Structure 1
Amino acid sequence: MVKTEHSEISTEEPWVLQDEIFDPKNMMEKLNRFADEEGLVETKKALKYAAEKHAGAVRKGSPYAGVIPYIIHPLTMACQAHALGIRDDRVLSVCLLHDVCEDCNVTPEELPFSKAVQKSVALMTKHREEGESEEQMDRRYYAALAEDPCASLVKILDRCNNVSLMALSFSRAKLTEYIHETESFSLPLLDTLRHRYPQYADAAFLVKYQIRSILETIKALLNHSGEF
């Protein structure tokens, strides 16, 4: 037992891990309300479309919690964007739709949304061209993203959400790989977003702070894992 001024804290029992930080029903209701109040027509439509396309899909959670509904991922991204002050209908829609093409057998051109939304979703949908190595694919992919402020921002929010909970389900090897990938591609994209598109500078600063804090914490724990 560890004694504090007010209580005793047990160090023998494991922490209860929380895969679902926010309730999907509450996020859905909140985003629907924002869409109505702020005239976000495509966001309103994307909420319903994404929920239908991802219905029944799950994300792998921690060994303690099992699986969680996949829709939590895009909903959290859209809520984070809105909390960061983003009121752009295109950005919020792309947050909600960014995985639909890759995961639900839909082409960007088939999305019943504006050409601008289709373009950003297409940029976020990763595919390997013939003869490409994984590193070549990543370099091409991130270079294309950097030319589109909406796709860049949504990709950064995507990585932020994935990084935030990766310690719950990733193996040590996967954690190491994801940290290297984030530092090699995602953080440089974030810096490009911050400097090239000043309208997103404040949001980029806050997201970078979150991502970098998580990475440094996990790296420290991995470095000293023999002591835990």
Structure 2
Amino acid sequence: MSIGSNIKAFREERKLTQEQVAEALGISFQAVSSWERDEYNPDTDKLIRLAEVLGVSVSALVEEKQKFFKTKETIYDWEHMKTYVKTTARNLKLPNTLKAVDFAVKAHEGQNRKRSTTPYIYHPLNLACHALSMDIHEDEIIAACLLHDVVEDCKIGVNDLPVNEETKELVRLLTCEKTNDENRHEIISRYYKEIMTNPKAALIKCMDRCNNLTTMSWGLSRERIYRMIKETDEFYPGLLQVIKDTTEYNNAAWLLKYQIESMLDIYKRLL
């Protein structure tokens, strides 16, 4: 396939119009149309930016024979996961988790994952299911998995959460203040340093990163992907060590290390 055919295929796969792509690039839609008709190719700067807009690598755009695979933004239905978490919470007598499920669903109502139509609640439910699949049945951990983004993303105070004080403290630790280019590293460093004081918070943060790594290929720009890879390389070995040093989480530490480092290696090779 030609560059123009690749551009058109990726654009249509992401349900973008030529006008939307053109607006993101600051050019006319006629230019995008000309690329797709192979009348001429985008220059290097535009090609790099186009790859970011479409969420693919530059090589994917310029390869003559593009191989397409059917992809999924989600694996499990979020309502099914909600039912599973609630049923498990009842069976294991996890009162904070039971309160947290419905609270989180309502708090994140109307929110979607970045650059997708996937309801945001899929993410915290995924974390809760991840913990349960590793035989972690601690009420505060599962509840905090469900609520970990509520304060940061939904304008809800920690003290307004319908859970006990330990769960509130976990959510507080997992909530990061807003950053900009100047203060980002200082704030992020302080954020991870504080999380490392609490093995349960470190455990949840590593599960959070596992899920975010699986979705960043379509949810983040190329620049943000590079930033997430560097951040993970810098801070997550410390988090994993905290988990490993906590006897009851030894098995989880092994699995999380394998998941995080495997995904990082795949992204690095593809990029």
Task: Please state if 1:16 is matched with 2:70.
Answer: yes
Residue equivalent to 1:46: 100
Give the partner amino acid of 1:87.
H
1:217 is displaced (CA, Å) by 0.7
Give the 5 Å matches for 1:87-102: 87-102=137-152
Give the partner amino acid of 2:198.
D
User: Which stretches of structure 1, 4 residues or more, deviate above 4 A after TM superposition?
Assistant: none
Task: Please state if 1:122 is matched with 2:172.
Answer: yes
What is the CA deviation profile of residues 67-111 of structure 1, one whole-angstrom value per residue up to 9, with x for unaligned ones?
A: 210000000000000000100000000000000001111111221
In structure 2, distance between residues paired with 1:169 and 1:15? 18
1:170 is displaced (CA, Å) by 2.3
Task: Please state if 1:30 is matched with 2:80.
Answer: no
Give the secondary structure class of the aligned counterpart of 1:42: helix
In structure 2, distance between residues paired with 1:118 and 1:74? 16
Q: Which of 185, 206, 226 matches 1:156? A: 206
In structure 1, distance between residues paired with 2:257 and 2:226? 19
Give the 5 Å matches for 1:43-192: 43-61=97-115, 66-127=116-177, 133-192=183-242
Unaligned runs of 5+ in 2: 1-64
1:167 is displaced (CA, Å) by 1.3
Give the secondary structure class of the aligned counterpart of 1:67: coil
Contact 1:43–1:92 at 8 Å: present in 2 too? yes
Give the partner amino acid of 1:98.
H
1:168 is displaced (CA, Å) by 2.0
Give the secondary structure class of the aligned counterpart of 1:60: coil
1:128 is displaced (CA, Å) by 5.6
What is the CA deviation profile of residues 110-143 of structure 1, one whole-angstrom value per residue up to 9, with x for unaligned ones?
A: 21211111111011111269xx821111121111
1:192 is displaced (CA, Å) by 2.1
Max radius of gyration: which structure? 2
Contact 1:164–1:211 at 8 Å: present in 2 too? no
Unaligned runs of 5+ in 1: 1-10, 223-228
In structure 1, distance between residues paired with 2:104 and 2:219? 24
What is the CA deviation profile of residues 155-202 of structure 1, one whole-angstrom value per residue up to 9, with x for unaligned ones?
A: 11111110112112322222111100011012321122212x121111
In structure 2, distance between residues paired with 1:192 and 1:118? 20
Residue equivalent to 1:210: 259
Identity of aligned residues (%): 36
In structure 2, distance between residues paired with 1:213 and 1:31? 27
Give the partner amino acid of 2:260.
I
Give the partner amino acid of 2:185.
E
Compute the TM-score of the two structures, normalised by the length of structure 2: 0.72
In structure 2, distance between residues paired with 1:42 and 1:125? 19
In structure 1, distance between residues paired with 2:91 and 2:75? 25
Compute the TM-score of the two structures, normalised by the length of structure 1: 0.85
1:12 is displaced (CA, Å) by 5.0
Deviates further, 13-22 or 69-78: 13-22
Q: Which has the higher strand share?
A: 1
Residue equivalent to 2:58: none
